[in-house]
Amino acid sequence: MKKTSVINPGMKMAEVVHIDYTLLPVINRFGISLGFGDETIEQICRMYHINMDFFLEILNTFHDPDYFPEENLKKYPIGLLIDYLKKTHSYYLEVKVPELEKLITGMIDDPKQERQKHKLMNEFFAHYKKELTDHILREEDKVYPYILDLEKTVKEKNCSDEMKKRLNRYSIDHFPDEHDDVEEKLLDLKNIIIKYLPPPIDANRCNAILYMLFELEKDLNDHARIEDTIMVPMVADLEKQYEKMIKA
C-alpha cells in the first residue's frame, strides 16, 4: 500500500531512514552523514545550518510522488534549489554513471569470445551517458544561470541594460522537455538486460546493474519532478515579478 506519511520537523532522522531508505542519497546530498543518534530533523538542520523548509520540501517530494508543495514555495531562495539540483547532477555524473559504467564494462564473462556483445552494451551505455550529460549541461550552462540572474535582478530591483539583454535571451517556457527521452533509454537498457541478453552472463553482476538502474531511474524521475513542479513554477513567478519591475 502507498505510504503517505508526511515527513515533519519533529521526526527523528533515523526514523525517516527506516520509513524510506531511498532517501539516503538525498540526505547525503545535504552533507548530512550517518550516525544521527536520536536527533530530530529540526536539530539536525540547525546543526548543519540547513534551511529546514527546503530540506523538508525535498525529502517529501522524493518520499511521496503526490506531495505537491504550494504554500512552502517561497520560504527559501531559489538559489538553494539550484544548488541542490546541481549537487544531484554531480551525483549522477560523478558517482552513479561511473559505477554503472564499470559494472557494464565487466558484464560480459568472456570478452574475447563475446567481443561484439561486449562492445554493443558499452556503446549503448555510452549513448545513454552522452544524452544524460548533454541534458545536464544544457541545464547548467543555460537554464540555471538564467534563473540565478533573474533572482538577483528581482531581489535587487535593478537591472542593467546588459542584464536585460541576457534575461531576454531565455524564458522558462523553453525549459527543455527532454526528461522523457532520457528516461526512455534507461527503460530500454533495463529491458535489454532483463529480457534479451543471451547467456553466458554474470548473473550477480547483472542483478547489481539492474538494482542500480532501478535506483537511478527513481532518483532521476524525482529530480525531473522537482524541476518540473517546483523549479519551473518558481521561475515563472520570478518572471512575472521581473516583467512588472521592467514596466514600472
Partner 1 sequence: MSNYNIIMAEKSYLVRLGIMQVLEELKVQATISECSNIKEVKHRLKSMDVDVMIMNAAFKDISASEIIQLKSDHPGLKVAQIINSEEEAIPVVDHIINLNEDKRKVFQKIEAIFKSAQRPKHEASESGLSKREIEILRLVARGLTNSEIAEKLFISTHTVISHRKNISHKLGIKSVAGLTVYAVLNNYIDGSSIR
- Of 99-107, 117-125, 170-178, 205-213, which segment contacts partner 1 by CB under 8 A? 117-125
- Of 16-24, 39-47, 87-95, 124-132, which segment contacts partner 1 by CB under 8 A? 124-132
Q: Which does 196 bind (CB under 5 to 8 A by kind): Fe ion, partner 1, none?
A: partner 1
Q: How far is the CB of 89 from Fe ion (least distance, A)?
A: 6
Helix (H/G/I), strand (E/B), else coil: 40: strand
Q: How far is the CB of 114 from partner 1 (least distance, A)?
A: 11
Residues 186-218 as b/e (b if ≥16 CB within 10 A, e otherwise) read beebeeebeeeeeeebeeeebeebeeebeebee
Whole-number Å distance between alpha carbons of 97 and 168: 35
Bin 3: left if φ > 0, else alpha if -120 < ψ < 50, else beta: beta
Among 34, 120, 236, 246, binds partner 1 (CB under 8 A): 120
- Of 46-54, 80-88, 98-106, 120-128, which segment contacts partner 1 by CB under 8 A? 120-128
Instruction: Please check whether residue 85 is in contact with residue 226, taking contact to mean a CB–CB distance below 8 angstroms.
Output: yes
| Cβ proximity to Fe ion, 176 vs 200, nearer residue | 176
Q: How far is the CB of 165 from partner 1 (least distance, A)?
A: 37
Whole-number Å distance between alpha carbons of 79 and 69: 17
Amino acid at 210: L
Instruction: Name the residues that contact partner 1, by CB under 8 A.
Output: 1-2, 65-66, 116-117, 119-121, 123-124, 127-128, 183-185, 187-192, 195-198, 221, 225
